[in-house]
Amino acid sequence: MRYLDIGTTPRISRIGLGTWQFGAREWGYGEDYARQQARDIVRRAVDLGVTLFDTAEMYGFGRSERILGEALGDRRESVFLATKLFPVLPVAPVVEQRAVASAGRLGTRRIDLYQVHWPNPLVSDGTIMRGMSTLQRVGLVGEVGVSNYPLARWQAAEKALGGRVLSNQVRYSLVDRAPEQDLLPFAAKAGRVVIAYSPLAQGLLSGRYDRANRPANRVRTGNPLFLPENLDRVGELIGALRDVAGAHDATPAQVALAWVIRHPAVTAIPGASSVEQLESNVAAAEIELSDAEYAALSAAADRFHPVTGRAAAPAMLRARLRR
């Protein structure tokens, strides 16, 4: 495993583990996964040197936090535990109460990274960060983070906190490259971190899915990237991933992760539906892409133009009716 060098204890692994899948019905992995496999995934991740574990109070309505906390057990001190506040009415006292509740579910006395899940359009970061500041003062929270924040609001949050807002967790993958515009340059310059979520585009970049074999769970039926049209269109990019994967004795998913974390300010938090996937994702941290490989993948990504937004609405409806 490789780690970020930004003064945290423990250091943050370049590949972490996302745990939205744990106990969340929308992923449809079932009870056996929630009760057993999720725990096996966490324990194996710790064995393999993963330190960054990401959850949120809203994943499975608290179940993900519980599963993660129980699975970590007495190994909790060796990891960098991150959770998120869902910012409905996030005035300072509510922020404080919600952190206490998350820590309780996680079975910990310290949340290493407490993130604001989404920017609240009505409540200013001043109010939220007052709560965060109190939490840091009493030691319940180590670092503060945000998620889905545009750059200006990330910087405003830092001003309001009067200290570093360590990270911004955003969607970043070969098919979602918006963070390259301003978030990544800022993070690299200021010593901050971009935590890449959906780094495999929810499994699209594994190359496992096509028009005849589409994933059935609610998360992905609601994601236009999995429309038959887009599964056709992504074929060239998957082909480019396969080419590079061949040269590294790797899989397309591993190469997709290696591409994401090639930027020095990025760490990725793929979810996993099995221990094997977790192992494979962890091994991706060791893949060194050459400049030419990185450029070829980026160019193939540039040529992928999925049908999204309004244009995707009729196809989304048709796809749902056909199921």
Ligand X SMILES: NC(=O)c1ccc[n+]([C@@H]2O[C@H](COP(=O)([O-])OP(=O)(O)OC[C@H]3O[C@@H](n4cnc5c(N)ncnc54)[C@H](OP(=O)(O)O)[C@@H]3O)[C@@H](O)[C@H]2O)c1
Binding-site ranges for ligand X (CB under 6 A): 18-21, 54, 117, 147-148, 169, 197-203, 206, 208, 215, 253, 269-273, 277, 280-281
Q: Which is nearer to ligand X, 74 or 213 (CB)?
A: 213
- Closest contact distance (angstroms) between CB of 276 and ligand X is 8
Q: Which is nearer to ligand X, 161 or 201 (CB)?
A: 201
Cis peptide before 314 (omega within 30 of 0): no
Residue in the shown chain whose Cβ atom is closest to ligand X: 18
- Closest contact distance (angstroms) between CB of 115 and ligand X is 7
- Considering 33, 59, 114, 149, which one is annotated as catalytic? 59
The pair of structure tokens assigned to 102 is 């998350």
- Closest contact distance (angstroms) between CB of 197 and ligand X is 3
Our answer to whether residue 197 is catalytic in this structure is: no
- Closest contact distance (angstroms) between CB of 277 and ligand X is 4
Q: Which is nearer to ligand X, 176 or 293 (CB)?
A: 176
Q: Compute φ and ψ for 225, nearest 5 degrees.
A: -60, -25
Q: Which is nearer to ligand X, 56 or 139 (CB)?
A: 56
| Residue in 170, 177, 132 with CA at minimum distance from that of residue 151 | 170
Note whether 138 and 92 are within 8 A (CB): no
Positions annotated as catalytic residues are: 59
